[in-house]
Amino acid sequence: MKRETSVHPKGKVSVRQRLGKINYTPYLFLAPSLIGVTLFLLAPFVETVRRSFCDTLGRKFVGFANYQSVLQNEAFRLAVRNTARFTGVCVPLLLASSLALALALRMKALQRTNWGGWYRTTFLLPMAIPVASIALLWKVLFARTGLLNTLLGTDCDFMGTDAAFWVLIATYLWKNVGYDSILWSSGLETIPAELYEAAAVDGAGVWKRFTAITLPNLAPTLLVTGILSLLNTYKVFREAYLVAGAYPHNSIYLLQHLFNNWFLALDLPRLCAAAVLVALTLLVIIAVLVRRL
């Protein structure tokens, strides 16, 4: 016996039938992750936004007083300048160096000798090294009685001068260049080889093929790699904190140092206001990147 179904007079399927045909299995698998993200990320962020407009106890509404106090704070201005400078130098250098490394790994010479996988593993090793080990390495190399001063015959406190900024940049590049090169390599693999062959037949040189074929087709990869590189700049705080403490040299006093110090001082209103400002800034930057790329 056939099962009767109610159909709309005009032949269209009713809303009840549509709901009956929905497969709820994917939503059941996604539910634990969605619940976790909501409880541990979205809900705390909403509470942070609310506390940024309240007093220390989070009960009295104070308007934009916390934001005004943050913007007038000299330590916040110093941290913003250093973070912007660090990001502006590191991200372009990382994108360029990792792309060059990915192109080198794609060379036929490396492919013929099967060294590509070995090189990729070598450049990914820094990501597996614990942060405490990196901090110890910093002290061995850059302390006043460290290895670098011994080799150069100098007496320079690298972490107590402006050189600390460039030490931090070198560490960031060393740790992330391998990961970004893997992302670039995945993007390069999606470019059809026929495009390069056709361009070579038309007489296009290496640089012309790179600018006319490689770069335009790497725009989606550039978006993902750029966003991840930007977010990873906020993770170098661990190394700087372990080596130089909560109050390092002014050249490497970043927003993470400021947030950590305000948290220890229980200055929650200004901490929440500053966190919201940083989140909005990152959101605008990412939105511009998505819009352009």
Output 146 or 33, whichever has higher pLDDT: 33
Q: What are the boundaries of each domain within the chain?
A: 15-51, 71-292
- State residue 14's pLDDT score: 56
Q: For residue 6, is pLDDT > 90?
A: no
Q: Do residues 147 and 141 touch, judged by C-beta distance below 8 A?
A: yes
Range 87-113 average pLDDT: 81
Is it the case that residue 92 has pLDDT exceeding 90?
yes
Please name the fold of domain 71-292.
MetI-like fold (1.10.3720)
**pLDDT at residue 156 tops 90:** no
The pTM for the full model equals: 0.78
pLDDT at 85: 92
Residue 24 has pLDDT above 70, yes or no: yes
Rounded average pLDDT over 156-178: 84
Q: What is the DSSP string of 133-184?
A: HHHHHHHHHHSTTSHHHHHHT----GGGSTHHHHHHHHHHHHHHHHHHHHHH
Whether residue 101 has pLDDT greater than 80: yes
Residue 13, phi then psi, degrees to nearest 5: -75, 140
Q: What is the mean pLDDT of the chain?
A: 83
Name the pLDDT band for 3 (thresholds 50, 70, 90): very low
pLDDT at 36: 92
Phi, psi values for residue 116, rounded to 5°: -60, -45
Say what the pLDDT of residue 5 is.
46
Residue 169 has pLDDT above 60, yes or no: yes
Cα-Cα-Cα-Cα torsion 154, 254, 176, 279, nearest 10 degrees, comes to -170
